[in-house]
Chain A
């Protein structure tokens, strides 16, 4: 165990925080969006440097054991910083159009940019911290920094969405705090009162065999319900579609692409500890159960959506369910597939939100009935939405196909009873989403020109990456996933 420090980690965590302060103090300047991109770019570079170092030197424990980086979280850190950067690029023209349409005032953009950076920094702290207590604090801070962004438009619906988001996630996260307390309690009884170190994940992981199983089992129930609320697992998912649909689209993209991943990360970290203590399949069964329930509920609710952003929000619940199910199965292959699915879902879903956001701006409505014929007015947005939808539905050759295929084949071998449920759900989701997207992309047009050209580069960069991941996973990335999958363990 080392003290020591890491310049890369310091830069990674300090950059978005400095960004939040700077953008908050500077106020509504014309160059604020560019500054936002600049800070996000610096964060991404720091993340890359950190990844290079961890890949070369193995896991890193710094700052009096308070932070640690291993194969599992370094890939999520890089992904988070990357999507943070592309979303900032997308947000520049998008928010300018919103300003021109009169949906936000320029003074509100100060809050928007500042909170965007703060949100990034809370997620990065949550991912890199070694302290289960700090993980909780960072997760709660992530909610708080986005509540006011969800209500940015000040419409009745957005206020309702914000209130639901705040209360449901607040109550949920309070359960997680209780779970954390129980974890600490169990740790103190096993290791003796050692104060701070009793909440360190690396420390707990070392002694997980000695932790009292009865207490840890109870702790896991609370932790799963708590962090599961943030993952959007049914039946605690109802904040998710509202928050995604009513907030500004860049926020929908980072909530769906990043925050959900961070919440899953927290659940998996807890699962590793609890499984080591319990030596039973209880945590796995709970993850599989909640995962399947979310998948099934989400795909049937997909049919009833009329709003484009709500449609894809429910699709996020579905995919979070699939990932949770895969982590529940455990074992090298399922974990590998779940990690891959986290990556490709994050990239694809944010790309879809970028395209959907611009489509809604063009049509002047988020209602799918009113978005028609994108391909004639703006071929790039149209194709972006089409390709994104096909990718998220799991069509080859996109990466989602590869990960879903792996998950399904593993399920056939390990949990045969679940395979028909999953297959049916995927088919239903396909019919629901494809049936909606097709008339939006083709068909008669009603769209109008936008005052600022949309930034579509992020859409195609993301989809390109997903395509590449579907065709060929570079060996170093595969090694990385495999190392992370081993860390998570579980399964038979």
Chain B
């Protein structure tokens, strides 16, 4: 096949793009942009799925691509934008670690991720060897983002980005999970975002803000314990 190397190169390009997007998210403090980046990440994922589907001819990957388009490119970003507008949270506070520091930790994380993925990559077909390392890196970078951010909304974007990374990992290592599992995971993610939406309104009703420092009163030794 003549086209194969091109799709392969494009696939690697997608993987690199995903890594770049993760770093962009780490450095972004405007929440609206963060959600947009998440949508772009979803689109890249969609592109990668389609490329892989074309390359391997596995039909269930098209179904999985449709799921990605519906959920990750359209529905979730739309839901998040709606939440942002209705809650009026546009900016994240200064992260716990400043941006350049976070970036530096991020770079180290990527090195670590490639090391971690080494035994898996060796077994994988050559088509997707680098992709697995990148998928692990995306997961860890999203984790880093969740740790360093203070606003609940940014943590949720980190959570969803982590799920995207896992999804990319599953795709590049095994050409996607069985369909029934993929549907189940997608359903869980959707429900999680809906539950979070309700949750945010409850938090704001209680504290008039979505800053997570309000949620730090429970400590291991005592708890508050009292009843109103």
Note all chain A residues with C-beta closer than 8 A to B120: 182, 185, 215, 218
Q: When chains A and B are docked, how far (Å) is the Cα of A161 from the Cα of B224?
A: 11
Q: Which residue of B lies closest to A199 (CB)?
A: B178
Please count how many residues in chain B sit with their CB below 8 Å of the partner chain's CB atoms: 53
Among A171, A304, A365, contact of B221 (Cβ-Cβ < 8 Å): A304
CB distance from A475 to the nearest CB of B (A): 40
* Contact across chains for B199 and A306 when beta carbons are under 8 A apart: no
Report the separation of the CA atoms of residues A182 and B166 in the bound assembly, to the nearest whole angstrom: 11
Say how far B157's CB is from chain A's closest CB, in angstroms: 13
Distance (whole angstroms) from the CB of A228 to the closest CB of chain B: 16
**Which of the 9-residue segments A35-43, A75-83, A143-151, A401-409 touches chain B?**
A143-151
Contact A366 B152 (CB under 8 A): no
The residue on B at minimum CB distance from A151 is B202
Determine if A189 is an interface residue (Cβ-Cβ < 8 Å): yes
Known: A151-B202, A154-B205, A212-B123. A133 touches B184 (CB 8 A): yes
- Please determine whether A218 and B116 come into contact, CB atoms closer than 8 angstroms: yes
The reply on B203 being an interface residue by CB < 8 A is: yes
Q: A167 contacts the other chain (Cβ, under 8 Å)?
A: yes
**Set of chain A residues within 8 Å of B143, measured between Cβ atoms:** 171
Residue of A nearest to B183 (CB): A137
* Nearest chain A CB to B209 CB, angstrom units: 12
Q: Say yes or no for B195: interface residue by CB 8 A criterion.
A: yes
Q: Is A188 within 8 A of B195, CB to CB?
A: no
Chain A residues whose C-beta falls within 8 Å of the C-beta of B178 in the assembled complex: 131, 133, 195-196, 198-199
A172 to chain B, nearest CB (A): 11
Question: Could you tell me if B227 and A360 are in contact, using CB atoms closer than 8 angstroms?
Answer: yes
User: Cβ of B191 < 8 Å from any Cβ of A?
Assistant: yes
Whether A131 and B180, one on each chain, are in contact in the complex, defined by CB atoms closer than 8 angstroms, is yes
Bound-state Cα–Cα, A189 to B225, Å: 52
* Binary contact track A225-265/B, C-beta < 8 Å → 1, others 0: 00000000000001001100110000000000000000000
Interface centre among B173, B207, B227 (most CB of A within 10 A): B227
Chain A hits for B123, CB < 8 A: 185, 189, 212, 215
Q: Are A367 and B226 in contact (CB under 8 A)?
A: yes
Cβ of A1 under 8 Å from chain B: no
Q: Determine if A161 and B218 form an interchain contact, defined as CB atoms under 8 angstroms apart.
A: yes
Closest-by-CB residue of B relative to A365 is B227
Smallest Cβ-Cβ distance to B192: which chain A residue:
A144
Q: Which of A177-225 contact B (CB under 8 A)?
A: 177-178, 180-182, 184-185, 188-189, 193, 195-196, 198-199, 212, 214-215, 218
B85 adjacent to chain A (CB < 8 Å): no
CA distance A367 to B224 in the complex (A): 9
B80 to chain A, nearest CB (A): 16
Q: Are A181 and B185 in contact (CB under 8 A)?
A: no
Interface string of B146-157 (1 = CB under 8 A from A): 100000100100
A477 within 8 A of B: no
Which residue among B119, B166, B174, B216 has the maximum number of chain A CB atoms within 10 Å of its CB? B174
Q: Does A383 contact B (CB under 8 A)?
A: no
Interface residues in A94-151 (C-beta closer than 8 Å to B):
103, 131, 133-134, 136-137, 140-141, 144, 147-148, 151
Please tell me if the beta carbons of A131 and B181 are within 8 angstroms of each other in the complex: yes
Q: Is A319 an interface residue (CB 8 A)?
A: no
B187, CB-defined interface residue at 8 Å: yes
Q: A212 contacts which chain B residues (CB < 8 A)?
A: 123
Contacting B223 at CB < 8 Å: which of A66, A196, A199, A307?
A307
Contact (Cβ within 8 A) A160 B217: yes
Q: Does A394 contact B (CB under 8 A)?
A: no
B177 near A133 with CB under 8 A, answer: yes
12 more A-B residue pairs beyond the given contacts A174-B162, A242-B223, with a C-beta to C-beta distance below 8 A: A148-B199, A154-B202, A154-B205, A159-B199, A159-B203, A170-B159, A178-B166, A181-B177, A185-B124, A189-B123, A196-B180, A245-B225
Interchain Cβ contacts under 8 Å between A and B, 8 examples = A144-B188, A157-B218, A159-B206, A159-B207, A166-B195, A178-B169, A181-B177, A218-B119
Q: Which 5 A-B pairs have the closest CB atoms?
A: A133-B181, A137-B184, A307-B225, A304-B221, A160-B215
